[in-house]
Amino acid sequence: MDLLTSLKISASGLAANRKRMAAISSNIANAQTTRTAEGGPYRKKEVVFGAEPARESFADILEGELDEKAKTVHATEVISTDRPPILKYEPNHPDANEKGYVAYPNINVMEEMANMISASRSYEANISALNTTKGMAMKALEIGR
């Protein structure tokens, strides 16, 4: 695997984890949102990751120059979960139903914080790999002097 492929893989990981952090932040910010434009309480968002070969062109694939196991990651889609809302008895709330229950999003803030820490660690790991690749490139340039 060459240096540019390594940089591309790290960059794809950074972009995917940035999108994951945005979804988690949205979940935390809307953990108490009872009314959305779509109607009903906010629905938790999750990012689905996918992988594809880290190849630039058809010629690269045909020649088989790159390692077949090298893959980049990308966020294929952001989905809304189907978790049922949590009903709380609050008859004075403006969004209460006729029985006095308010539908709140089924979001566990502690779970979201753990997911945020995980995404942050993944982001840091990709930065570390990117910096290591950059260091190897700089050392290779110094050898050439």
List pLDDT tens digits, range 55-82.
566 565 555 555 556 678 888 889 888 8
- Number of domains, the chain: 1
Contacts of 28 (CB under 8 A, 6+ apart): 107, 109, 112, 113, 116
CA dihedral over 88, 38, 35, 119, signed as positive or negative: positive
CB-based burial of residue 13 (10 Å sphere; 0-12 exposed, 13-18 middle, 19+ buried)? buried
User: Using CA atoms, how far apart are residues 9 and 54, in angstroms rounded to an integer?
Assistant: 7
Residue-level length of the chain? 145
Q: What is the pLDDT of residues 82-91, one digit of tens each?
A: 889 999 999 9
Q: What is the pLDDT of residues 25-65, one digit of tens each?
A: 999 999 999 999 888 899 999 999 988 766 566 565 555 55
User: Using CA atoms, how far apart are residues 26 and 47, in angstroms rounded to an integer?
Assistant: 12
User: Using CA atoms, how far apart are residues 49 and 71, in angstroms rounded to an integer?
Assistant: 12
Q: Indicate the average pLDDT of the chain.
A: 87
Average pLDDT value for residue range 105-118: 95
User: Using CA atoms, how far apart are residues 48 and 83, in angstroms rounded to an integer?
Assistant: 16
Confidence (pTM): 0.80
Q: Are 17 and 119 in contact (CB under 8 A)?
A: yes
Q: How far is CA 144 from CA 50, 131, 136, 141, in A?
A: 38, 20, 13, 5
Q: Can you give the pLDDT at residue 55? A: 59
- Structural domain harbouring 50: 3-143
